A and B are shown apart, each in its own frame.
Chain A
């Protein structure tokens, strides 16, 4: 069987069955977009973990003028209290847990804040006085955060002890939930796609029963009988997968690269590079699902 002949048959099949082919393309597009989104969200989490985990610290916020924390009744932290906290951080009891620590004044806090929220209007209106001073503590083992919290929470002049990792974990769990939802939708859509490919191939086999009947009689091999139909399903799915990759690329390019990444300079975001890592798998998934679904259908509806 010559390739040109097979491709001609595929072409005529695609034309004759155009509306079904379009629906296969669209359903594959949607299902694979969801699969890809879930994958990209997981990659975003990994990215953020890698970027943040060695940077995030435990922040010991000190009392400002108007804090209402239990230890802040006497107003802003005093020089003495600050010194005591500092020496506590250096004490034998605490030292084994602390990798290093650093004091951040109100002014430094403002600078960091401005860097982080460069593009947002908030950075203009915030003043140094509104931001608390703090000690930034890096732990040897971030899991031992509870010990630091217990030791410092009750000290005079300490407003609150915050584990920044906890904040991150919250973000991660939100992203995780979102990707589970995406996977769920993707699962349903993939099922739709597989069934639709089956139906399309069945319809196509029915529309071309004259040709296949004659092909069987003149001795077409099983593969040359089935290949045009399988290719029809696979090509439709391939188009859907390519479109899905395109949609993901555009989403990352215009939503993340051009917007989020500029707004939140301090955060690591995935970029179009990650899309290029995901896309081949989406294409493979689409092609394999369509191929298997076509073959299974043909076993029933196109016997040799």
Chain B
């Protein structure tokens, strides 16, 4: 469904040539995410998670390597066909990004109006989507009359209103308390069970640890590990002899670093990806 081949993203090419310490947002990343997968993207701030997601959306174009989405090399898509690519991808952000002057129903309907859906299709489909995210009966509320969790549900509903095959979530629980986050994760899980590929960038270790889904960890733009049912961190706290604490790489037998060439967990989706 999504395949990165030696993808490098250098944001500011000029300054990179000029200064030594400038480093790429993504550095030679190769990975494959299958149809129907649920993958967490973890890593420190600035490790390249958002860059990864923006490359899939073709908000930015890789400076090296190629990004394939649903069998298409996104760099080769002409600019007037980019909207078509994006209709197949839903996106959710940490800050919800709802339209404040539209109510819940209208916010979700907006996504369908934009792509030219008919009024009757909108009338039928929006309530279904709102039900899926658990917002029945709240159609008429304005965003400022909703809790953060509810607002995120609206944002998710909008993201899946056009039935995308892929859902990208960039720290969707970043602004929510743990209990509310669990609710959101249940919604994302339900969407994933309906067959949508979900990629979620997060800092929320509790969620990652409890979900036991695929975990891709980025560090300084490189893939550190890629586990089938991973945990948030590969670091374990160690107490040094002088009493200080620090995090060390745990020697975990289930890790598979991509550098070893082991792609067992991400087999190529050849039938999908042939252009």
Partner-B contacts on A (CB < 8 A) = 1-2, 5, 210-211, 213-222, 224, 304
Closest to B116 in A: A1
Q: Dominant SS at the A interface?
A: helix
Assess the A2–B87 pair: CB atoms within 8 A: no
Determine the chain A residues whose CB is within 8 A of the CB of B87 once the complex forms. 218-219
Determine the chain B residues whose CB is within 8 A of the CB of A218 once the complex forms. 86-87, 90, 110-111, 114-115, 158-159, 161-162
Highest count of chain B CB atoms <10 Å: which of A210, A213, A219: A219
Indicate if B113 sits at the interface (CB-CB under 8 A).
Answer: yes
- What's the Cα separation between A15 and B91 when bound, in Å? 30
Partner-A contacts on B (CB < 8 A) = 57, 79-80, 82-91, 97, 99, 110-111, 113-116, 118-119, 158-159, 161-162
- Given A2-B119, A5-B114, 8 more pairs with CB closer than 8 A: A213-B97, A217-B91, A218-B158, A219-B86, A219-B88, A219-B115, A304-B80, A304-B83
Assess the A2–B113 pair: CB atoms within 8 A: yes
Assess the A304–B82 pair: CB atoms within 8 A: yes
- What's the Cα separation between A213 and B57 when bound, in Å? 13
Assess the B82–A224 pair: CB atoms within 8 A: no
Determine the chain B residues whose CB is within 8 A of the CB of A214 once the complex forms. 97, 99, 110-111, 114, 158
Can you name 13 A-B pairs with beta carbons within 8 Å?
A: A2-B119, A210-B99, A214-B158, A217-B86, A217-B91, A218-B86, A218-B90, A218-B158, A219-B86, A219-B89, A219-B162, A221-B80, A221-B83
Closest to A222 in B: B80
Determine the chain A residues whose CB is within 8 A of the CB of B161 once the complex forms. 218
Determine the chain A residues whose CB is within 8 A of the CB of B159 once the complex forms. 218
Shortest distance in angstroms between B182's beta carbon and chain A's nearest beta carbon? 26
Determine the chain B residues whose CB is within 8 A of the CB of A224 once the complex forms. 114, 116
Shortest distance in angstroms between B241's beta carbon and chain A's nearest beta carbon? 52
Assess the B97–A220 pair: CB atoms within 8 A: no
